[in-house]
Chains A and B, each alone.
Chain A
Amino acid sequence: MRERAIRFGKSASLIGVITEPAQGTSRAALGVVFLNSGILHHVGACRMHVRLARQLAKHGITSIRFDLSGIGDSEARKDSLTFEQSAQVEVQEAMDYLTVAKRINEFVLIGLCSGADMGFMVSQGDARVVGLVQLDAYAYRNTGYYIRHYAPKMLRLGIWTNFIRRKLGFGAQLNGKGPEPGADYVRLEYRRKFPPKETVEAGLRTLAERGVDLLFLFSGGQGDHYNHRSQYESTFASVNFGGRIQVEYYPTADHLFSALEHQRQVDQAIVTWASKVEQRRRRTEPAEVPVIPIGTAAARTRSEPAAAVR
C-alpha cells in the first residue's frame, strides 16, 4: 500500500491523499472517492476513510480522500459558486485526477450523511460513477416505520401519562432544546434537507437504469427516519434495482458509527461489497465510459494532475 499527499483541482487548492495498492500487485479498474461528512475533514468520522482506503488497497482498489474547498485542509474558493455547486465540481475534479494520473474511468463514491447526499447528487449526472455507498442516506418513513416505532410505545404507560401532561400544558420542558451553537462553534453551512421522496425515487431509477451498484448502510442514529433493514427497498418498491442494491442496518450504531465493533462491521461490509462490484464489472468488461461533465464543470477542461508532494 502506498499513499501520497496531493494538491489538485482547477487552482490546485484541493488537498487530499491517494491510497493505492503496493507496487507489483494487481490493480482494480475501479477507483473510490471518499466524500466529506459535514465539517469533518477527509480522514472521515472516526478515521473511517483512512481505514477503508487501506483495506481497499489490499484488494487492489485505489482511492482518494480529499477535502472540499473550505473544509479540512483545502482552501476556500474565491468564486461565487454555492456549496452544492462547488462540491459537485470538486468531486468530479477528484475523479478527473484519478483518470489522468491512474487511468481509472469507473468510480465508487462513498459518503456518510451529507457525504451520502453529495454522492447521490453527483452520481445522477456522471456516468463514470458505477457504484455508490451511502451511510445514513435520505430515508422516508413508511407504514412499517410507524408500526415499528409506535407499537412498542403504545404498550408503555409512561408514554400515555406524558402525552396527557403535554396536552395539559405541564410538559413543555420535556422538549427543551440544547444550546444553540455560538460563535465559537462551527458547523458546515450545509443544512441537511431531505428532498421530496419522489425526487429521490426518480434519482434511484436513473441509477438503476444505468446499472449502478448501490450499498446503503443505516445506523440507529437516524432512528427518527429509519428503523428496519427492509425499509429502504420497501419505500422505493417501484424502482427495479435489478439485484444491484444491498441494504444493511445497524440499530445500535450511532450516526458516526463510533463503536469499534460497528466500525469493524461497516468496514467489512463496504470492502466486501466493493470487491464484488469490481469482480462483477470485470466479468462484463464495459465499453469506454464517457465523461459527462455536469453543471458548471461543463465549461472546464480536464485539469492535469498537480505535482504530487512528497
Chain B
Amino acid sequence: MNPLFFGNSERPLYGVYHPPRTRDTRARGIVLCYPLGQEYMRAHRAFRQLAILLSKSGFPVLRFDYFSTGDSSGENDAGTIEQWLSDVGTAIDELKDNAGVERVALIGLRLGASLAARVQAGRTDVSSVVLWDPVVVGAAYLAELIATTGEGDPARNAVAARNDVIGINGFAWTKTLREGLDAMTADAFPVVSNTRVALLVSGERDDYARLRERYASLNGRFTYRCIPSPGDWAFIDAYGSALLPQDIIQGIVAHLNQECEQ
C-alpha cells in the first residue's frame, strides 16, 4: 500500500495505491469510489479489503478521498457533486499514470456508485463500472440519512440556522450539495453502449429495479446480481463500527476477474 497526495497541488487529493501483488499484472486498473459522510467511515475497512483482494488478483488499484473528505484538502462543507465528479476523473488519470495502464474500471459504493456511473459516460478509457448498492434517487437518500439522525439536536439546528449547513451524523451537508442530490434520479445514470455495467446489490429495492430497466438495453454488457448481505451503510453506533460484507466483496472481485477473462 502506497499512500500519496495527487492532483492539483492547490487542492490535493489523498489516495492509497495498491500495486498488483501477482507476477502477471492485469492490463486494467481499478479506481474505488467511496461513499460520503458517515457511510465513508463505515465503508473504509471494506474498501481496504476490496483493494487488497483485487491487487492479489493482479489489478493495480487506487482508492482515494474526494475533495473535502478524508485526508484530502478542503473544509468539511466545501464538497459539491460537480467537484467530486471531477475528482474521480483526476483519480483515473493518476492511476493510469502510476500503474501504466490505458483502461480502468470503476467500483463505486452508494453515492460513489452514482458518481462512477456519471464519470464513465464522459470518458473513453473506462471500460466497465460496478455499482454497489448505488444511491439512485438523491432526495430519497437524503431523507434516509436525515432519518438516522434522530430528532431535536439543538446544537445541529443552531448551526443549520446560521449558514444553512445540516449536520448529518457528524458531516456537513450544504444547501448546494443537497440541491445537487435533489437533481439525482435514475435518469442521471447514463447508458453508454460500449461500457459494461454491473449492478451488485445487497438486497432488492424498487429503485434498483428501475435501474435494471434502464440498463436493459445493454443486453450482454449489463450484469445484475443480488448478494444478500448487510447493507445498512448509513447506520451509526456510539463507537463508529464498520461494515464488512464479505459475500458481496468476494462477489465484486469474482465479477472483475471474470470480466477480464472474457
Which residue numbers of A lie inside 8 Å of B, CB to CB?
3-7, 15-17, 37-43, 45-47, 50-51, 72-73, 75, 113, 181-187, 221, 252-264, 309-310
User: Does B44 touch A at the CB level, under 8 Å?
Assistant: yes
Question: Which segment of B150-158, B203-211, B214-222 sits at the interface?
Answer: B150-158
Instruction: Please give me the residue from chain B that is nearest to A38 by CB atom.
Output: B239
- Cα(A75)–Cα(B69), bound, Å: 22
Interface-located stretch among B3-11, B53-61, B81-89, B102-110: B3-11
- Check B240 against A38 for contact (C-beta < 8 Å): yes
Q: How far is the CA of A40 from the CA of B236 in the complex (A)?
A: 12
The size bracket of the interface on B is 35 or more
Q: Judge whether A309 and B3 touch: CB under 8 Å.
A: yes
Is B100 an interface residue, CB under 8 A from the partner?
Answer: no
Contact of A17 among B2, B3, B239, B242 (CB under 8 A): B3
Question: Which of A47, A113, A252 lies in contact with B70, CB distance below 8 A?
Answer: A47
A183-B238 Cα distance, complex, nearest whole Å:
19
Q: Which of B6, B12, B241 contacts A186 (CB 8 A)?
A: B241
Which of the listed residues B45, B76, B155 has the most CB atoms from chain A within 10 Å of its own CB?
B155
Q: In the complex, what distance in Å separates the CA atom of A47 from the CA atom of B169?
A: 12
Q: Please, what's the 1-or-0 string for B55-83, where 1 marks a CB less than 8 Å from any CB in chain A?
A: 00000000000000111010010000000
Whether the pair B242, A185 counts as a contact (CB closer than 8 A) is yes
The smallest beta-carbon distance between A190 and chain B, in angstroms, is: 10
Return the CB mask of B160-180 against A: 1 if under 8 Å, else 0: 000001010111100000000
Known: A40-B240, A259-B153. A310 touches B4 (CB 8 A): yes
Contact of A73 among B16, B76, B241 (CB under 8 A): B16
Q: Are B5 and A255 in contact (CB under 8 A)?
A: no
Indicate if B243 sits at the interface (CB-CB under 8 A): yes
A6–B3 contact, CB under 8 A? yes
15 A-B pairs with C-beta separation under 8 A: A3-B12, A17-B14, A38-B239, A39-B242, A45-B41, A45-B240, A46-B171, A72-B48, A73-B3, A255-B238, A258-B236, A259-B153, A260-B165, A261-B156, A261-B167
Cβ distance A292 to chain B, nearest Cβ, rounded Å: 30
Q: Is there an interface contact between A51 and B2, defined as CB atoms closer than 8 Å?
A: no
For B244, give its contact among A4, A41, A186, A262 (CB under 8 Å). Answer: A186
**Nearest chain A CB to B14's CB is how many angstroms away?**
6
Q: How far is the CA of A258 from the CA of B5 in the complex (A)?
A: 27
How would residues 242 to 255 of chain B score, 1 for a CB under 8 Å from any chain A CB and 0 otherwise? Answer: 11111000000000
> Complex Cα distance A258/B240, Å?
11
B183 within 8 A of A: no
Cross-chain contact of A184 among B1, B5, B48, B229 (Cβ < 8 A): B229
B78 to chain A, nearest CB (A): 12
**A258/B3 contact (C-beta < 8 A), A185-B241, A187-B239, A252-B155 known:** no
Q: Does residue B159 face the partner (Cβ distance < 8 Å to A)?
A: yes
A95 to chain B, nearest CB (A): 19
Query: What is the distance, in angstroms, from A229's C-beta to the closest C-beta of chain B?
Result: 17
A261 with B240, Cβ < 8 A, contacts A6-B3, A46-B171 known: no
Query: Are A5 and B3 touching (Cβ within 8 A)?
Result: yes
Least CB distance from A172 to B in Å reads: 23
The CA-CA distance from A261 to B167 in the complex, in Å, is 9
Give chain A residues whose Cβ lies under 8 Å from the Cβ of B230. 182, 184-185
Q: Across the interface, do B239 and A260 meet the contact criterion of CB distance under 8 Å?
A: no
- List, in ascending order, chain B residues with CB within 8 A of A186's CB: 45, 241-244
Tell me the bound Cα distance from A46 to B167 in angstroms.
11
Q: Nearest 9 pairs between A and B by C-beta? A: A46-B170, A258-B170, A261-B155, A5-B3, A260-B167, A259-B155, A260-B159, A184-B230, A186-B244
Contacts of A187 on B, CB cut-off 8 Å? 239, 241-242
